Amino acid sequence: MSNPADTPERRSFYNKIDPDHLTPLWSVLSDLVTKEPGSGCVPYLWHYPIVREYLLEAGELISAKEAERRVLILENPGLRGQSRITSSLYAGLQLVKPGEVAPAHRHTQSALRFVIEGSGAHTAVGGEKTRMEAGDFVITPSWEWHDHGNESDQPMIWLDGLDIPMVQFFDASFAEMLEQDEQPLTRPEGDSMARYGEGLLPVDYTQGTPTSPVFNYPYERTREALEALRQQQQWDICHGLKMRYINPVSGDYAMPTIGTFMQLLPVGFTTESYRSTDATVFVIVEGQGKSVIGDTECEWKPHDIFVVPSWFPVSHIALSDAVLFSYSDRPVQKKLGLWRESRG
């Protein structure tokens, strides 16, 4: 599509209707309905050691309680000032130091925590506490009380991924603070996994929300599953071995607005070019390698984070056995019938 040519008469008409807040569609149609996806989102890689130093420095400047959440936002270079890593998603690295508590609050935004570094800290969600270990994927559903604490002697750092831009788009943001820093616990640790994560459900259970009732997916279990499946040597040419986290009740994505994935790439494996409409954030859990995103080459090591914009071709090269966690807005796009992919 292309816009019709401008003429003095048309320009005069546009100026005439402008005070009444009118715009001719034909003058902007090609920008609204594009041949292929286009956004300001660009490929970029954050090297973890660099960001980690900044995060520890921030830990000396402000407490977790004063900040409410001591986080450094990963802003896409093409979307600066918008607190976005992609057009629809947010990412930030959070630090909780030994002895600190990030106070309890709740909000309509859904959140994931992917643990980067540390052991033994906890998050409490909806009255249940869970311990956090490196590689764990933890969910905070929309409008659930949640707080974080660190009883260990080492800093805990995790990636926060939220659907903040989506909620902003719908003008549907609400938030509340709890009167005390930590919420009352009403269930023992491990309760949600025992009820919903062992291939069993309470006999009278009815699903209340589209979010998984299991809110901690331990990396130990995920890694064991990848290693067991590896024995089949059934490598996808574009993904290696890639699995998605699910809601065990429905079989749908674990979160209604954010799709989460874990994949294994064996040493020496090079994926064929792949592109999809869901811009995707990747976190390196293990290994090293590089990814070619359009014309951009990103060399990565453990804990590095990079983003692949919508419809950019990407291929991964594993220089050692590599495990990658990723998340995107794929569940929303699929439910709206918008998601597309192109392989090879």
Say if CB 111 and CB 164 are below 8 A apart: no
Say if CB 226 and CB 264 are below 8 A apart: yes
pLDDT at 314: 98
CA dihedral 269→331→147→176, nearest 10 degrees, is 150
pLDDT tens digit at each of 344 positions of the chain: 678 999 999 999 999 999 999 999 999 999 999 999 999 999 999 999 999 999 999 999 999 999 999 999 999 999 999 999 999 999 999 999 999 999 999 999 999 999 999 998 999 999 999 999 999 999 999 999 999 999 999 999 999 999 999 999 999 999 999 999 999 999 999 999 999 999 999 999 988 899 999 999 999 999 999 999 999 999 999 999 999 999 999 999 999 999 999 999 999 999 999 999 999 999 999 999 999 999 999 999 999 999 999 999 999 999 999 999 999 999 999 999 999 999 98
Domain boundaries, the chain: 36-343
| Tokens representing residue 63 in the block | 């407490």
pLDDT at 272: 98
Secondary structure of 246-305 as H, E, C letters: ECCCCCCECCCCCEEEEEEECCCCECCCEEECCCEEEEEEECCEEEEECCEEEEECCCCE
pLDDT at 3: 84
pTM for the whole thing?
A: 0.96
Name beta bridge partners: 297.
292
Indicate the helix (H) or strand (E) that contains 217: strand 216-217
- How far apart, in whole angstroms, are the C-alpha atoms of residue 76 and residue 279? 12
**CA angle 274–278–281, rounded 5-degree value:** 85
pLDDT at 150: 97
Does domain 36-343 bear CATH number 2.40.110.10? no
